[in-house]
Structure 1
Amino acid sequence: MQLKRAFFQAFAWSSLFDLVSGAPVSSKNSSSSQTSASALPSVADWATWGVAQVPNVLNATAADANSLAKGYRVVKSHYTQNGLEAKLKLINETNIYGYDFDSLTLKVEYQSDNRLNVHIEPTDLSDVYVLPEHLAFKPKAESEFYSFSNADLVFTYEKDPFTFTILRASSGEELFSTAGNPLVFSNQFIQLNTSLPLNHTITGLGESIHGFVQEPGSVKTLFANDAGDPIDGNIYGTHPFYIDQRYDTNTTHGVYWRTSAAQEVIIEEEALTWRALSGVVDLYFFSGPTVKEVISQYVHEIGLPGFQPYWSLGYHQCRWGYSTIQELDEVVKTFKKFEIPLETIWSDIDYMDSYKDFTTDPHRYPAKEFKKFLDTIHDDHQHYVPIVDAAIYVPNPNNASDNYTVFESGNSSETFLRNPDGSLYIGAVWPGYTVFPDFFANSTQEWWTESFAEWYKTIEFDGIWLDMNEVSSFCVGSCGSENYTQNPVHPPFVVGSSPTSYPEGFSKSNKTEYHSIESSISASSASVAKTASSSSTATSTSSATLDSKNTLETGVGNINYPPYAIYNWQGNYDIATHDVSPNATHADGTLEYDVHNLYGYTQTNATYNALLEIQPNKRPFIITRSTFAGSGQWAGHWGGDNNADWQWMYFSIPQALSFGIFGIPFFGVDTCGFNGNSDSELCSRWTQLSSFFPFYRNHNVLGAISQEPYVWSDVTEAAKTSIGIRYSLLPYYYTLLQEAHTTGLPILRALSWQFPEDRSLRAADRQFFVGDALIVTPVLEPLVDTVKGVFPGSGETEVYYDWYTQEAQDFEAGFNETLDAPLGHIPLHVRGGHILPLQEPGYTIHDSRKNPFSLIVALDLDGYASGKLYLDDGESVNITESLYVDFIAEGHSLTSAAYGNFNASQPLANITILGVDSKPSNVTFLGEEIDFSFANNTLLVTDLEDYTTGGAFAEEFVLTW
């Protein structure tokens, strides 16, 4: 949840230069949970004003560090047991964006055959932030001595000026080279340049809403930002890692800059420029040479994804606007009425008492009725997940009834962020003026755990949804320091207005409804245009007087407004706007300036530990908004506050693929869109697309029309169809979850990863693979009943089978096939060579797991297929009983071999074999001849329950035909 860009633009004409302060706004204080929003005072408008900036990438007069800096020279070097160390001396001081460090230390470490580290830091680290190992995993050398002859990567360098190059040992190919470009290393500006091959394919560098490939001209800002899914802007997470896939050599490598600093990356035709506003250079190169190997190598080093519980794969329903427990209960009952599977019901901030964490509204969500509701859904094997925000309400000291023990206990144990003078940093979020937990403080984990544990006694939640943890604040600076006696106050904007936007194509597909609201839509559009126009003028006026080109205190160390202005996607580009300010101070003295990108990461880790304490040996289920490299160890992620329109439906695919790269494979978006109103066509298509994402949730904004799948009959049927497919595939998805947890491989996979030699697939991001076996081709535009898709290698090395008809498709490699896709149908194909374990779907995951298994065997062109299955109890952290099953089909025979001690007692019901050349004369199972049917090259064997009464995979079996 956040304000729209237009809101911030409207106030860009005013500014503040450091901490915001001023006279309190006079108003009547009230802390009652029943106080209406209109009766509350509001956070003052001026508290939202930041300094209007001109980002350097948009400033034609900004100094070009690459042309002005002189770089460094090597003055001393020596080889080590696993690399090289050297001293670098500044050639000539330029102080372009901060003061240059005179002396640097270079350390090169060959850490393994496929990983190399280049570390550069100032010799004097007195005022330099170095990301400690206890916060974020730091890859280490695998041995004290390294045999350089085994290295896939080679480091070379020039002495004067110092530049370096990373080569692939087997071919001599340059993978990363700063040749011809000076190293710039200042206290508030570090810059590296590397050359890139023409027509390069760069992916990664997030989080942003963008196509899968980072094309020339892309500016990637790596700064955690509460902005609602702007296209090409920086949003919630920070992932300083990219993959360079090269088709000329058919190799791939990856580069990771391990830093929590604010960063900016510029992609050009033949170069990549990488900048950071603090910290050190700590680069890790991964040699691959395939994309999947690069991802696995990287994710192993930042932390393998946590193993999600089995129930997380079910359908989840949420919205901002389930205002009472009765309404929440009615939603659950209506899903059941329409027989739409519902695994988990979620709560946005509606359930809270005056929007305060760890509370429930005593009137709208009374404890007794809340408990009864939770007992009911738990008895039905369903789940409940509430939201928790990062900010903690500050009670009004002038109002004796405004007590809040969560704040009092946290404040007494000094767990909150501070101002530089040691006072509490007080910003503003949903409940009013708030403080922010400092997860660097020694006492915070204990306080955070106790807060969850006490709350759990009242609300037995099954997982936690972390929001607003970039960390977001609605005002600039410690605006509540002199104003918190006004609490509770209303956010400085209207909450809950009814959107009038509808998806593209709505006016044609819903003509009658469109005409009835046309005047409202037109008025809204005119208002937005007027606001944008006035804000644009205001910004222009202010720029001449408010140091918009950021020359304040150049080189001296301006923390809130550093001399180099990054392209931060807020209305005025100020990094303090809608965020806790950079000069907020942590318990160990660290400034938020250096670790802002870690806030969500540290909060997620603390929440994981808290949930483990509450329910030991149950896998914590967490979905978090702000992420960093390694966040996937503890949580999944949703795509943030997207829009109910077709282009955001499309963008969900490259976003999902990117988070697979980042080691967060458990990903999904707000199905049908968050902001604005959805409609039946968009929601039908999106419901079916999301059914193939690992995390599958519908969620929308307060004030928008309802969009639960039962609202429209078309969506109801589409949901039943695609959820039925998803639930039948649960054993396959769970196996992929386990594979991601142990190898780092993503669940959703780009076509270019599956066929890395096919350059035509480099930017293919409108289709995707689920694992290696399924390819999904969604409809991503309105008013059509067909969709185009490519099927690599088809007819040459590959064969694809239609999921619904089970027939081999006569596709042509390299050709854009037109597929029938009437509303309610999403094309799905099985790739030959793979075996899919299935289970008969039930209403819940619990019900589904009790049902019989089946297999789909999709033979390749040589009559071969393989697959695997992993099973356990679905929730234990320390897994003591598990089952692994391998399937191989070749030579007219299918073999299943299992090992492990988990008891999967459900029988095997049937086996379907696709691509059988001709009708067999007989079929045997466990040596006995059995009945079968055969049509359209598909062999179907049913009624196997009597042969597998001890469990489908209790013993090895062989099926022959």
Structure 2
Amino acid sequence: MAYRMPTSTLLLQVFVLVFAARCAYSWRREEFRNCNQTPFCKRARGLKPEETSYEASEVVLVDGHLQGKLFPLSIQEGDPSSPLSMHVFFYSDHIIRLKINELNDPSDGTKRKRFEVPYVIEDSLDEKRLWIQKLVEENGASVVTLASNLKVFLQHKPFQIRIQDGEKCLLSFNSNGLFNFEQLREKKEGDEWEESFRTHTDSRPYGPQSISFDVTFHGAEHVYGIPEHATNLALRPTRGPEITSEPYRLFNLDVFEYIEDSPFGLYGSIPFMLSHSAVRSTGFFWLNSAEMLIDILAPGWEGDDSNKKQELNESDHIDTQWISESGIIDVFFFVGPRPKDLLRQYTTVTGLPVMPQLFATAYHQSRWNYKDEADVYNVDDGFDDNDIPYDVLWLDIEHTDGKRYFTFDHSLFPNPKEMQEKLASKGRHMVTIVDPHIKRDDGFFLHKEATSKGYYVKDIHGRDFDGWCWPGSSSYLDMLNPEIRKWWAEKFSYTNYAGSTPSLYIWNDMNEPSVFNGPEATMPRDCVHHGGIEHRDVHNAYGYYFHMATADGLLQRSGGKDRPFVLSRAFFAGTQKVGAVWTGDNTAEWDHLQVSVPMVLSLGITGLSFIGADVGGFFGNPDPELLTRWYQLAAYYPFFRAHAHLDTKRREPWLFGEPYTSYIRDAIRERYALLPYFYTLFREASMTGVPIMRPLWMEFPDEEMTYTLDRECMVGSSLLVNGVYTQGAHTESVYLPGGLWYELKTGKMFSGGDYFKIPVAMDTIPVFQRGGTIIPRRERPRRSSTQMVNDPYTLLIAVNGTHEAEGELYMDDGNTFDFAEGAFIHRKFIFSQGCLTSVAINSQKSRKKFISSSMIERIVILGLELPITTHATVEPHNRRVELEVGPSLLRSGMQSNAYIIRKPNVLVSEDWLIRVL
């Protein structure tokens, strides 16, 4: 008799093989679908404008918005002929929304409704609705005129929408006639709805339901956004004469060891695109969480009607085609006019970035995995022994009891509370990983409860979906269901999460969701969520809902007092109001160091301000030079974390010896010196949506030389940073926009508007302060950010051509939400005509107060040309303080002369004036 291997043993071997394959090989293109292997993408790309015409009819004003129906002018065989519903809404700040869906008869409860993405749009958006009072019919179009000469034209036949500023077109929808909407229909005999890819078959029980359309950005020179892709910031054409590229893909996937310079989709998706030119910036957002593919259409693409563009009095335009597998059309048009206006408009719709705790903006140390408590203590001591600050130590999946989340392996971590408390005594925190796959173990309390309550995503047969991830056989919680999200949040209480303390925070990984044995290593599209929603509809938002529920859990844990910190790998529109993200499993290669800049910038301009990339590369072993260069650049990422794969060599900052330990120490300390500046930028982001790390064209929108730059970036409006991306480099070519700039290493002044060849030694990368700015710093080395709370400040003033400068400083308690009730200090520093003044930005009465005893201990002024004097005067008390000309004595080692005011000893929280003349 032949021996039959036990099922459990067979499954275990399959899992081991899958795991080994993932660890041994890099990204394999054949494991993921391309457009030709994706029927709805191939169909949409093959459509001709004359095949998909619609007519808008019965267009009227109802409750202050436009309402009508869309009738297909040509019907494909087998397609339903019922009209579509259409609504156009108008909001303050020049935001326009278009919704198109199938008409649903309320009396017909049998028809399946198409999925509309919940929990993304801000509840307050409805308060900003404009109630249109007048509709004008003009040359076959319904016309609405808004403020500032903005007009919206809804052309009836063929249907299209144009948004114009006077006679100049800004944005148009369906101006190329590529709109197509596959309506749900009954399956007929002979219909083949199943689709197969490799070994997986998608049952597609509701048949084809894809949507496609075109959007034109008129007057645009470049388009940006739609992350996440490891490629240039300025998006390149994917279709056109002699262009045979794949479209940009938005489909959240666990792409193991991804390659750079590819339009392939990675861990997150934000269907928001921005255009920019010297004349105007515009934006477009599609609220849809199904798989999406987007083509950038080059001039001369099949169907391009250049004559029509000439009729609209424009010289430049960029056509795009948007394709989604399912869902509805719920799109927003933003008309700027400038880049920062777009971020304000977009975050009005999807939410402002969350204000993080101060410690989270400092340096984080992680790897897969710190193996036990002794390892944790050794690493912690290593930072102290080498005088390197850090704030957070992370534990990956190996800290758990057999990959059961909310547990500790007590043979390795027998005293988790004591371990966290020892770190907390130094002002440090810990982060543990909690992933969405739940181990299918009848003895595991979480699995037992989730099973009994029916809280898992179901497979096509109605059973709890069973997929493979780190624990082996796993099921996945249905985070679309608010009841389940509430239940999940309760698991983070100190009672439920045994061994956790107030200094413990959370990391959500693998939440695309990653399923090792699933199609494209994710969940099958025909799995079923709450309300009968297919996974295909909600896929790109799954990780966002998981992230949201986890953050709610930490919020509940503190009784609503403390701000949560949760890092997520997967993301969607709206993630910015939940927490931080990073760029995923990069590699220790110079190309990955360089591509981290456009990746972080792309995420920033689409709303996600709290972002970073794994320092040193997750995979592989960086040599000392690459690791040093990565630290020097990453010190300016908004989220600053070192992380590495299980199989990599240990690379804590001191392990490569001198001089590299000193180089890395200096980079980390520079981040800590700049924490007041970064925290002020996080406050700005939380109020305006403008990112911390931003492309040069966001600060210099009229300088065309900046439009395609993505090797360098602005950190706030004051610092320009250019990494070193080549091994053995001795110089870097850096473009400095117009105005004065000061190299931080030397204090040397540059007059911008050109490229400069900057010498680079191993101790630093090119960093410049913009003339006309003031940066607050804290110069005293400490173990962690929490030990810097009462430290004094240094103000670094870099004057412009008229010897003026200004900057801001924001402070609060760094932990709670008391700032929302006015418990903060927000100061503006102004240097003009030889006087430095400090004034409150918000002096309104508030329910709570934040008090600081911190002083200004030093003021450094760069670029000032004044008669040599020996003192400055502090008012209102007419107190004289020492003033000298000499080296700045900042840690960055500035060599050129500067005016230095020592010990003015003025409170940072008060109004004062210091007179240099």
**TM-score class, shorter:** 0.7 to 0.9
Q: Deviations over 1:579-633 (max 9, x none)?
A: 1111111122111111011111111111111101111211000110110101110
TM-superposed deviation, 1:199 = 7.3
Aligned to 1:888: 830
What secondary structure sits across from 2:126 in the alignment?
coil
**Within 5 Å, which residues of 2 pair with 1:57-206?**
64-67=46-49, 69-80=51-62, 82-94=64-76, 99=79, 102-124=82-104, 126-134=111-119, 136-137=121-122, 139-140=125-126, 142-143=128-129, 145-146=131-132, 148-150=145-147, 153-169=150-166, 172-187=168-183, 188-196=209-217, 200-206=221-227
Q: Is the 8 A contact 1:428 1:475 kept in 2?
A: yes
Q: Is the 8 A contact 1:462 1:621 kept in 2?
A: no
Cα distance change, pair 25–129 in 1 and its aligned pair in 2 (3 A): farther
Aligned to 1:958: 914
Q: Is the 8 A contact 1:685 1:824 kept in 2?
A: no
Which region of structure 1 is more displaced relative to structure 2, 226-235 or 863-872?
226-235
Aligned to 1:9: none
Determine the C-alpha separation between the residues in 2 that align with 1:699 and 1:638. 11
Q: 1:654 aligns with which of 598, 605, 622?
A: 598
Cα distance change, pair 52–343 in 1 and its aligned pair in 2 (3 A): closer
Q: 1:776 aligns with which of 699, 721, 741?
A: 721
Aligned to 1:540: none
Cα distance change, pair 592–748 in 1 and its aligned pair in 2 (3 A): same
TM-score (normalised: structure 2): 0.84
Q: 2:434 aligns with which of 360, 383, 388?
A: 388
Q: Which runs of 5+ in 1 are unaligned?
A: 1-22, 32-36, 397-402, 477-575
TM-superposed deviation, 1:353 = 1.2
Give the residue type in structure 2 aligned to 1:883: I
TM-superposed deviation, 1:134 = 3.9
TM-superposed deviation, 1:860 = 0.7
Cα distance change, pair 200–57 in 1 and its aligned pair in 2 (3 A): farther
Q: Is the 8 A contact 1:414 1:443 kept in 2?
A: no
**Within 5 Å, which residues of 2 pair with 1:186-585?**
186-187=182-183, 188-196=209-217, 200-217=221-238, 219-228=247-256, 229-231=258-260, 232=262, 233-247=264-278, 250-270=279-299, 271-366=319-414, 368=415, 370-395=416-441, 403-453=443-493, 454-460=495-501, 461-476=503-518, 576-585=519-528
Determine the C-alpha separation between the residues in 1 that align with 2:549 and 2:35. 34
Cα distance change, pair 223–136 in 1 and its aligned pair in 2 (3 A): farther
TM-superposed deviation, 1:257 = 0.8
What secondary structure sits across from 1:738 in the alignment?
helix
Aligned to 1:763: 708
Higher relative contact order (CA 8 A, sep 6+): 1
Give the residue type in structure 1 aligned to 2:873: T
What secondary structure sits across from 1:421 in the alignment?
coil
Cα distance change, pair 265–356 in 1 and its aligned pair in 2 (3 A): same
Determine the C-alpha separation between the residues in 1 that align with 2:653 and 2:290. 42
TM-superposed deviation, 1:296 = 1.6
Give the residue type in structure 2 aligned to 1:705: K
Does residue 799 of structure 2 align to residue 859 of structure 1?
yes
Give the residue type in structure 1 aligned to 2:914: V
Give the residue type in structure 2 aligned to 1:960: V
Give the residue type in structure 1 aligned to 2:507: W
Cα distance change, pair 101–596 in 1 and its aligned pair in 2 (3 A): farther
Give the residue type in structure 2 aligned to 1:224: N
Determine the C-alpha separation between the residues in 2 that align with 1:750 and 1:436. 38
Determine the C-alpha separation between the residues in 2 that align with 1:201 and 1:91. 34
Cα distance change, pair 605–465 in 1 and its aligned pair in 2 (3 A): same
What secondary structure sits across from 1:392 in the alignment?
strand
TM-superposed deviation, 1:806 = 2.6
Does residue 585 of structure 2 align to residue 641 of structure 1?
yes
Q: 1:802 aligns with which of 743, 755, 764?
A: 743
Determine the C-alpha separation between the residues in 1 that align with 2:54 and 2:510. 42
Cα distance change, pair 38–343 in 1 and its aligned pair in 2 (3 A): farther
Q: Is the 8 A contact 1:28 1:41 kept in 2?
A: no
Does residue 872 of structure 2 align to residue 923 of structure 1?
yes
TM-superposed deviation, 1:821 = 0.9
Q: 2:550 aligns with which of 592, 607, 620?
A: 607
Which region of structure 1 is more displaced relative to structure 2, 799-808 or 313-322?
799-808
TM-superposed deviation, 1:136 = 4.2
Cα distance change, pair 118–675 in 1 and its aligned pair in 2 (3 A): same
Aligned to 2:760: 821
Q: Is the 8 A contact 1:807 1:914 kept in 2?
A: no
Q: Is the 8 A contact 1:220 1:266 kept in 2?
A: yes
TM-superposed deviation, 1:146 = 3.6
Q: Is the 8 A contact 1:585 1:592 kept in 2?
A: yes
TM-superposed deviation, 1:70 = 3.1
Q: Is the 8 A contact 2:369 2:399 kept in 1?
A: no
Which 4+ runs in 1 deviate beyond 6 A?
28-31, 37-52, 57-61
Q: In proportion to residue count, which structure has more strand? A: 2
Q: Is the 8 A contact 2:120 2:350 kept in 1?
A: no
TM-superposed deviation, 1:406 = 0.9
Q: Deviations over 1:21-41 (max 9, x none)?
A: xx996266799xxxxx98997
Determine the C-alpha separation between the residues in 2 that align with 1:196 and 1:146. 25
Which region of structure 1 is more displaced relative to structure 2, 155-164 or 684-693?
155-164
Determine the C-alpha separation between the residues in 2 that align with 1:57 and 1:181. 24
Which region of structure 1 is more displaced relative to structure 2, 929-938 or 611-620?
929-938
Determine the C-alpha separation between the residues in 2 that align with 1:38 and 1:52. 23
What secondary structure sits across from 1:843 in the alignment?
coil
Q: Which runs of 5+ in 2 are unaligned?
A: 23-27, 106-110, 134-144, 184-208, 239-244, 300-318, 844-848, 887-895
Cα distance change, pair 204–25 in 1 and its aligned pair in 2 (3 A): farther
Cα distance change, pair 646–272 in 1 and its aligned pair in 2 (3 A): same
Cα distance change, pair 54–41 in 1 and its aligned pair in 2 (3 A): closer
- What's the % identity of the aligned pairs? 26
Determine the C-alpha separation between the residues in 1 that align with 2:729 and 2:736. 21
Q: Deviations over 1:904-950 (max 9, x none)?
A: 102221111112112343421122222211246621110223xx3xx
Does residue 607 of structure 2 align to residue 663 of structure 1?
yes
Cα distance change, pair 153–652 in 1 and its aligned pair in 2 (3 A): farther
TM-superposed deviation, 1:782 = 0.9
Q: How many residues align?
A: 812
TM-superposed deviation, 1:462 = 2.5
TM-score (normalised: structure 1): 0.80
What secondary structure sits across from 1:238 in the alignment?
coil
Determine the C-alpha separation between the residues in 2 that align with 1:658 and 1:350. 32
Q: Deviations over 1:73-93 (max 9, x none)?
A: 123222345342221111222
TM-superposed deviation, 1:834 = 0.8
Give the residue type in structure 1 aligned to 2:882: D
Cα distance change, pair 128–781 in 1 and its aligned pair in 2 (3 A): farther
